[in-house]
Structure 1
Amino acid sequence: MKVTLKYFGVIAESAGKSEEVLELEQGLSLRELKDQQIKTYQIQDAGSVQIAVNQNLNNEVELKEGDEVAFLPPFAGG
């Protein structure tokens, strides 16, 4: 299945790109995808990286063909 990955902030800097389309194995979990990309691009502070699927921060979704997965850096607040 093909999904579009979008990277923001320091994650995009680590990846050297802001977007890519990947062909993934059917049944790959969101957690497995996150771990794979963090390892591939050596993303620092991996514990604070949030994932949104189709602009939804619910991490309990099953990935499907055509999904958009955003890798979001830690947010600063104040």
Structure 2
Amino acid sequence: MKVNVKYFGQVAEAAGKTEEKLELEKGASLKEFKLKQIKQYQIPDPDSVQIAVNQDLVDDKELTEGDEIAFLPPFAGG
């Protein structure tokens, strides 16, 4: 199945790109995919990286064909 992955901020800098299309196995979990991408791109501070699937922040779910997965850097607030 194909998914569209977007990277923002320091995550995009670590990946060296802002977007890519990837082929994943059917039934892939978001949690496993996140760990794979963090290891592959050596993303700094992985515990603070949040993931949105189809613009909803989630911790884990089964990914499906056409999902948009966004790797979001830590948010600053005040």
TM-score, structure 2 as length reference:
0.96
> Match of 1:11, as an amino acid?
V
Q: Secondary structure at the match of 1:57?
A: strand
Q: Which residue of 1 aligns with 2:14?
A: 14
Q: Does 1:23 align with 2:23?
A: yes
**Structure 2: segments with no counterpart, 5+ residues:** none
- Where do 1:45-64 residues align within 5 Å? 45-64=45-64
Q: How many residues get paired?
A: 78
- Higher deviation after alignment, 22-31 or 58-67: 58-67
What CA RMSD, in Å, does the superposition of the two structures yield over aligned residues?
0.8
Q: Secondary structure at the match of 1:27?
A: coil
Post-superposition CA distance 1:23-48 (Å, at most 9, x none)? 00111100000000000000010000
Query: Which ranges of 4 or more aligned residues in structure 1 deviate by more than 6 Å?
Result: none
**Structure 1: segments with no counterpart, 5+ residues:** none
Separation in structure 1 between the aligned mates of residue 44 and residue 27 of structure 2, nearest angstrom: 26
> Match of 2:35, as an amino acid?
D
Report sequence identity in percent: 69
